Amino acid sequence: QVQLVESGGGLVQAGGSLRLSCAASGRTLSSYAMGWFRQAPGKEREFVATIRWSSGRTHYADSVKGRFTISRDNAKNTVYLQMNSLKPEDTAVYYCAASDAGLPSTLGSSYHTWGQGTQVTVST
């Protein structure tokens, strides 16, 4: 059973950058797909980015394409979300998720393990 712990959230001004980390323990992720999702107050959870661990293939939501980058570090068993040019509408709790099916997906239901979330707040 894999466990996920996110870190790196915080308060940043619009136009700034943050890097979120998601450290996995309990199992290596070589056969997994990893995703980042976010949920703003009063809104439904939405897909942000996903990566297939084995190939590094990525996919992004249109709202973050060109600004966010998902990546992974095999040695550290960690997935990252580099967020640049942040906007106030990026404010949300960001969640890391893992799928042992190994296929990247934009659907939250495809992921069986979730982290506790980390708050990102972008001020104007």
pLDDT of residue 1 exceeding 90, the answer is no
Q: What is the pLDDT of residue 28?
A: 87
* Residue 9 vs residues 53, 80, 122: alpha-carbon distances, Å: 23, 12, 10
- Cβ contacts of residue 55 below 8 Å, gap of 6+? none
Contact 98, 92 (CB under 8 A): no
pLDDT band, very low/low/confident/very high, at 63 (cuts 50, 70, 90): very high
d(CA 110, CA 76): 24
User: Which strands, in side-by-side order, build the sheet including 3-7?
Assistant: 3-7, 18-25, 78-83, 68-73
Per-residue pLDDT at 56: 93
Mean pLDDT of the chain: 96
pLDDT digits 0-9 by tens, 23-35: 999 988 889 999 9
pLDDT band at 102; cut points 50, 70, 90: confident
pLDDT, residue 46, reads: 98
Q: What is the pLDDT of residues 66-93, one digit of tens each?
A: 999 999 999 999 999 999 999 999 999 9
Position 123 confidence tier, pLDDT thresholds 50, 70, 90: very high
CA–CA dist 35, 48 (Å, integer): 7
18 vs 8: CA distance, rounded Å? 7
